[in-house]
Amino acid sequence: MGEALTSLLLGLDRTEIAALVSEAGEPNYRAKQLMDAVYGQRLETLEEIFTLPQEFREWLAHRGMTVGAAQIEKKFVSVDGTVRYLIRFADGQTVETVWMPEGDGGEAGDGSEAGDEAEGSSLTSSGAKAQVQSSEPIAALKRLATQNQNQDQTHTQKLQDARRKPDRSTICISSQVGCAVDCQFCLTALLGVKRNLTAGEIIGQVCAVLKDQRVSPPEDRVNLVFMGMGEPFLNYDNFMKAARLLVEAVGIAERRMTVSTAGIVPRIRDFGDENIRPKLAISLNASNDALRTRLMPLNKKWNLEMLMAAAREFPLRTREWITFEYVLLGGVNDEPENAREAAELLRGLRCKVNLIALNPGPGIDFSTPAADRVETFQKILRVAGIPAFVRRPRGRDIYAACGQLKRTVEIPSSPVPQLHHIRHLS
The residues with which 193 forms a beta bridge, in sequence order, are 178
Catalytic residue among 44, 96, 231, 325: 96
Amino acid at 401: A
- Mapping DSSP to helix (H, G, I), strand (E, B) and coil, where does residue 304 land? helix
178's torsion region: left (phi>0), alpha (psi -120 to 50) or beta?
Answer: left
φ, ψ (nearest 5 deg) of residue 170: -130, 135
Distance between CA atoms of 29 and 18, rounded to whole angstroms? 9
CB 65 within 8 A of CB 24: no
Separation CA 212–CA 129 (nearest Å):
37
Is 102 one of the catalytic residues? no
Please enumerate, as own/partner, the contacts of 186-189 that have beta carbons within 8 Å and a separation of 24 or more.
186/364, 186/403, 187/361, 187/362, 187/363, 187/364, 187/399, 187/403, 187/404, 187/405, 187/406, 187/408, 188/229, 188/230, 188/403, 188/405, 188/406
DSSP letters for 157-170: HHHHHHHHSPP-EE
Task: Clarify whether 96 is annotated catalytic.
Answer: yes
Alpha-carbon distance of 94 to 230, in angstroms, equals 12
The answer to whether 311 touches 351, Cβ cutoff 8 Å, is: yes
Long-range CB contacts (within 8 A, 24+) of 139-143: 141/385, 141/386, 141/387, 142/385
168 Cβ contact partners less than 8 Å away, ≥ 6 residues apart: 102, 103, 114, 117, 118, 221, 222, 223
Catalytic residue among 172, 179, 186, 402: 402
Distance CA 381, CA 346 (A): 10
List the catalytic residues.
96, 402
